[in-house]
Structure 1
């Protein structure tokens, strides 16, 4: 055979084989890890007493947004903003409300983030608590397949429940299949003997590993895989081995632990206080307060291990080279600051949560970004990083130019509850109550959110109030 012809045939065969083995779409995958009630109490966010090696390793590879703020201080509305890229109702049923709007032709609605990526060729999979209900369904036990929290969003939305019987049973993360019925009969914290399988997040992680195999071995499309880890949500329960990590750890003092004197968004920590506390109050019992904080820390380390298992599996699959990883806390959590134990306020502690974005194509590593960013920004950022059109309806800003370049963005963060709205700038926080009362705090002063200076700065109050109105309306 002519040598030139033989060479040409060889090149053709090689080319055909290469085309067959190449992915049909080179767009990056997305792995979104949502962690419930995770304040930025991580070693990579300057909490040196916390043991969080897996999340810290992700932070070293990626970009940590040290001033990330959620748009609402509770699970449902915060996840609404994450998954739609829009401000929305300030209630936990926000996504179910949106599902009803989708059935009403008179109400203008837009695709959710997973639906948008699905329209652009992605396989979308949700596991665990990504929307407000783990598994994304309604009904008495949150497993009614006719009541979908996010219609049209997921190719698969999964919630393994094991001994917990149903998603509602697994929601509060109690050990050994225990289901919360009456909170007052459940201990505020627990440490079960045994390994990670004692708690339901282990089921979520194992299903995630199964889905990763499916998505990387048998799926020709890029994937959008969202995983929701329940811990450290109340009650604070994790295997005892995680609590033992903190036996000899000295916890830092609780900053500004006093109840505010003037009108604020302070509340009585109702979600926390309704659990069985053996008659103890952390605001008056410092020994009990420290126990609560240690159990919260144990839950953080437990959640960190779950993140580590997922990231290890992603690397073993080889897909890590083409997968953008986002780790996001759905809101902050007070551990005694302002005498609050919980979320639901508009203080810094309720709204400040961790955000880490790892882009494998980015040469910048281990960067701590001090620009203010919002959960609202994640949807357009992921579009920008994957080369997908940013839809006009999203209300956030792409962070790609921060992630890939030296540019800082001068942003503000707006958040809300049913009764008040707030805006955070680099120097101040303004809170405007529905009844017209205002709070203004200077974050460049040591007093920060303990001294209301609204009376002294009426012009700044007016300026920031107008900014809130412009962003929300």
Structure 2
């Protein structure tokens, strides 16, 4: 028995023909659907990229305890469990985040791995002289990442040099070399169609359109401020990359046909999350509420034990189910603390493995769906607190935790899944602020595009209590319940929800005591400004802002005053300014 996982990054479900899209050219995804089970209700769990991969290894939600970070010493890693039980595991990837501080423990869990360089500003090719960068409609806002990407692109002047092509070539070489062997798992993982949406012209030619604007294939996360023709152009750039991904998926399907791997090889084709391409006036992920475009995922599985093909299932499944599925396939014992369930019973017998799905990003909304209703629960305080990280591996995405962050850390008692290990409890902060959006409730049956925020107290109570139960089952720390207004996890009532709604209104009536005036947008931007500021420094920042307003004799406050004010705070000020600018987009 063998297994292949073809994993794409930021693959939008709603842009695949197998899920109803009638204009994106992706014939091999259609071919895949004819050879496998298509899952209609697959949801993400922990987001974004690396938290999703921690779920892929551990079969557990991690967003309630931790943001982006490495695998922990107490984590059960699916590839390592396979390796320790006689299954050869191999990773081929061009996902650069595996090789940064915040992801550096993942690749070593496999027997062997190959890393293809060059994606999204990967620190690959050295060039002191600045590269020639076309003027972009959104500017070079990503700084060094943007610069490095344009250095790297000089080395990708043919399709064969593109990281996607090189990644699949190496994955296919592994299949070719090991097709006659038994008990191996290949994770063939492509960074595409993640931004930037960079493709050879042959794939752009599938989507001819009139466009005379500046170069634009990498939107910055935030509200859409571009013109409609620019948005349309980026959608076509993304579609071109999906078509390129489809072409290389086809090469894997060809290998399955050529060597008749369908007889004994599990095939999983999946992604970590989607990407907003102007829907709801948003670009990207992470900073906005997690609408369906981001969390409702495509998933295709061929299981040779059941040989179900060209069928669909509406069973509610998640990323956490993939680790136990692979362990079950190879008859490896599933750890007790894995929350996911094997998909074999779903495929073979139509089993329902969960009542509801929980998902989110650390410090963001906590979300739940039962497949029909979709509830986003925001914090009840603009500080989005209390909020802590629990870790023994204090690293962020690109860097280690700073000394200032670690000065307030404490050693916390073991959590139920840390195998008796005490963990560091570190005060956390985020640039985004889910408090600004409040709670949101959607009926996916009547409103699949999530345009109408329902006002239904009874339903909100029902879904809140469902969320509380799932959080308890996930060993959520006590402060997560407090942050969301759930007390210590006791059952919530309609009366309590109404009281919290009135308290929320009061937070937007800001009065600094100096006779100032606020527009609603300025008040919300003020709250956003504090999001990256450690709790211990917020009083100081507030007093400094009051001093600034008095000194400059400012009475009518706008977002621009906050942007100017943040310049005095160095690196922290840049994070504060980014939070304000992000919100300034939101208020347009």
- TM-score (normalised: structure 2): 0.60
Does 2:127 match 1:127?
no
Q: Aligned equivalents of 2:158 and 2:300: distance in 1?
A: 27
Give the Å deviation of 1:223. 0.7
Partner of 1:445: 446
Q: Aligned equivalents of 1:349 and 1:407: distance in 2?
A: 26
Q: Aligned equivalents of 1:339 and 1:48: distance in 2?
A: 22
CA separation of 1:46/1:447 partners in 2, compared to 1, >3 Å: closer, same or farther?
closer
Give the Å deviation of 1:449. 2.4
Q: Aligned equivalents of 1:149 and 1:181: distance in 2?
A: 27
CA separation of 1:238/1:208 partners in 2, compared to 1, >3 Å: closer, same or farther?
same
Partner of 1:257: none
Q: What is the DSSP-based 3-state SS (H/G/I as helix, E as strand, rest coil) of the residue aligned with 2:160? A: helix
Give the Å deviation of 1:390. 2.4
1:389-427 CA distance string (max 9 Å, x none): 322221112221220124444531111112221001122
For the 8 Å contact 1:38–1:232, the answer to whether it is kept is yes
Partner of 1:159: 115
List gaps (5 residues or longer) in structure 1: 1-27, 103-108, 171-175, 250-270, 276-280
Give the Å deviation of 1:273. 2.3
Q: Aligned equivalents of 1:50 and 1:164: distance in 2?
A: 23
CA separation of 1:374/1:312 partners in 2, compared to 1, >3 Å: closer, same or farther?
same
For the 8 Å contact 2:443–2:450, the answer to whether it is kept is yes
Does 2:272 match 1:272?
no
Q: Aligned equivalents of 1:93 and 1:418: distance in 2?
A: 5
Give the Å deviation of 1:43. 0.7
Partner of 2:81: 116
Q: Aligned equivalents of 2:371 and 2:280: distance in 1?
A: 21
Give the Å deviation of 1:472. 2.9
Partner of 2:237: 295
Q: What is the DSSP-based 3-state SS (H/G/I as helix, E as strand, rest coil) of the residue aligned with 1:295? A: helix
1:72-129 CA distance string (max 9 Å, x none): 3411111111121111147997452x2xx42xxxxxx142010111122111100114
For the 8 Å contact 1:68–1:355, the answer to whether it is kept is yes
Partner of 2:165: 202
Partner of 1:421: 366
Q: Aligned equivalents of 1:308 and 1:467: distance in 2?
A: 42
Q: Aligned equivalents of 1:164 and 1:443: distance in 2?
A: 35
Give the Å deviation of 1:388. 2.9
CA separation of 1:471/1:450 partners in 2, compared to 1, >3 Å: closer, same or farther?
farther
Q: Aligned equivalents of 1:35 and 1:342: distance in 2?
A: 16
Partner of 1:262: none
Q: Aligned equivalents of 1:234 and 1:121: distance in 2?
A: 37
For the 8 Å contact 2:276–2:285, the answer to whether it is kept is yes
Does 2:29 match 1:55?
yes
Give the Å deviation of 1:445. 2.2
Q: Which moved more, 1:453-462 or 1:29-38?
A: 453-462
Q: What is the DSSP-based 3-state SS (H/G/I as helix, E as strand, rest coil) of the residue aligned with 1:450? A: coil
1:299-327 CA distance string (max 9 Å, x none): 00101111112232343344442110100
Q: Aligned equivalents of 1:207 and 1:462: distance in 2?
A: 47
Partner of 2:297: 353
- TM-score (normalised: structure 1): 0.74
Q: Aligned equivalents of 1:38 and 1:207: distance in 2?
A: 21
CA separation of 1:423/1:209 partners in 2, compared to 1, >3 Å: closer, same or farther?
same
Q: What is the DSSP-based 3-state SS (H/G/I as helix, E as strand, rest coil) of the residue aligned with 1:236? A: coil
For 2:252, which of 305, 310, 334 is the aligned residue? 310
Q: Aligned equivalents of 2:227 and 2:470: distance in 1?
A: 39
Does 2:343 match 1:369?
no
For 1:462, which of 461, 464, 470 is the aligned residue? 464
Q: Aligned equivalents of 2:175 and 2:67: distance in 1?
A: 30
For 2:10, which of 23, 27, 37 is the aligned residue? 37
Q: Aligned equivalents of 2:375 and 2:116: distance in 1?
A: 42
Give the Å deviation of 1:383. 2.5
Q: Aligned equivalents of 1:92 and 1:466: distance in 2?
A: 18
List gaps (5 residues or longer) in structure 2: 126-130, 134-141, 211-217, 382-437, 476-588
CA separation of 1:168/1:411 partners in 2, compared to 1, >3 Å: closer, same or farther?
farther
Partner of 1:16: none
Give the Å deviation of 1:369. 1.2
Q: Which residues in structure 2 correspond to 1:212-291 (within 5 Å)?
A: 212-217=175-180, 220-247=181-208, 272-273=219-220, 283-291=225-233
For 2:55, which of 72, 81, 91 is the aligned residue? 81
Could you say which structure has the greater relative contact order, defined with CA pairs below 8 angstroms and 6 or more residues apart?
A: 1
Q: Aligned equivalents of 1:39 and 1:402: distance in 2?
A: 23
1:116-170 CA distance string (max 9 Å, x none): 11122111100114xx646x4336xx9xxxx942275211111133x88995449
